[in-house]
A and B are shown apart, each in its own frame.
Chain A
Amino acid sequence: MLAKRIIPCLDVTLDEKGARVVKGVEFVNLRDAGDPVELAKRYDEEGADELVFLDITASAQGRKTMVDVIERTAEEVFIPLTVGGGIKSIEDINEMLSAGADKVSINTAAVKNPEFVRKAAEIFGSQCIVVAIDCRRNFDLSKGKYFVELEDGRKAWYEVVIYGGRKPTGIDAVEWAKKVEELGAGEILLTSMNRDGTKIGYDIPITRKISEEVKIPVIASGGAGKPEHFYEAFTAGKADACLAASIFHYREIEIEELKRYLKERGIPVRI
């Protein structure tokens, strides 16, 4: 049986020291937690199933840095690596895969030009192409298409947002998920902006809805704060994988411990 995956995400930025992972690491163990390659090695040791690197600078300089980070990581870490952030051309994808990435994650560029997803999947294969969908609850029921019942019984639809959540698009997230599957995406990385950074748990209603509507794997993202949240996402949310960032950087949750917790509760995980 296929294992449910635990995926740490490294948000990579640039400062005077070079590539750094951000999200709270300034408070703890700055030297080690700050270097993306060191952090990647640590997560590999601790049992992470894959790693996602996000270039949050989304600049030419940032992309160059990312190539270097991926190259150095791929020399020492032998688990699947995904790179996202500012990927908008076939050349960008080529550059990342040649550096040693196994998959790329496309977000804004997919919304702006859906044919890009089709072309990328045709050239590199669906297994290489992750489409990241950022979405936010919208209670204007005169719009939207798929209405989802929330935890409190209210209904909402989820609107796709781009540019790091700054720009709403009017697109229904469920409809978009089905569309990207048809375009050839191999996986969906789903982030609910309502939960991102909250640590109150993944957005179960939308995770479950999209997992039911598509056949490709869905990675839940945004809101993880404790082990129960992962359990919920895998069971009620029907997610195939769970992604988290700061709680792993901070060691609020250790991956090994998390996996033991899940295994004890009957979730198939790789230990």
Chain B
Amino acid sequence: MIAIVNYGVGNLKSIKKAVEKFDRAVVTRDAEEIKAADGIILPGVGAFPAAIKNLTDLKDVIVKAKVPVLGICLGMQLFAEVSEEGGINEGLKIIRGRVVKFPESVGKIPHMGWNVVKNEDHEIFEGIKDQYFYFVHSYYFKAEEGIIATTDYGIEFPSAVAKNNFIGVQFHPEKSGKVGLKLIENFVEICKQNP
């Protein structure tokens, strides 16, 4: 069972449907239910300040999780120490680095559409190499460790990070067609193998 953490307004339907292709999924914000899951997904649509606030009572459950945790988009950005979106807000401090806005020089913001994810070998990318994924974001996570993929949008930014049992992706695998589903399948597989 994969717990999809419901901490705001985002539409969680696609991610739930995608996970359900490979495992059971529950959308929840109940601490006990999250603790009992084989894996946790932190989805992400919306703004950082509201998200971290809505997550206050679940911070501990997530940071101390022993099972694999997948942060998607804003969910990945929540792993940071600090975000500059809507003022300065502290993140979950799982991975060193801060969340910053794209410079105007990159062109159109948000960075929206399909872009190439240049990935290193990591089990979340099993069977995936330098593929297109779907992005929608104006801020990016300038991670200082654990970068396992980068993407070029005027600047080269980290599009996936991993540290211990935490994996973050800036793109939306649940909107990235077959390749995206493969990544979700990989995550479910990682969860199943976790002792």
Contact = CB atoms under 8 A, between A and B. Distances in A.
Contact of A78 (B14, B112, B116): B14
Size band of the interface chain B makes with A: 20 to 34
B108 A217 contact: yes
A78 B152 contact: no
B114 A78 contact: no
Interface in A213-237: 215-217
A258 B69 CA distance: 39
A217 to B, nearest CB: 6
B111 A102 contact: no
Majority secondary structure of chain A interface residues (helix, strand, loop or mixed): loop
Contacts of B108: 215-217, 240
Given A78-B18, A125-B45, A49 B114 contact: yes
B127 interface: no
Interface in B25-51: 45-46
Interface in B104-124: 107-116
Size band of the interface chain A makes with B: 20 to 34
A270 B115 CA distance: 8
A50 to B, nearest CB: 9
Contacts of A80: 134, 175
A108 to B, nearest CB: 25
Contacts of B153: 1-2
Contacts of A3: 113-115, 132
B65 interface: no
Given A78-B176, A270-B132, A98 B115 contact: no
B71 interface: no
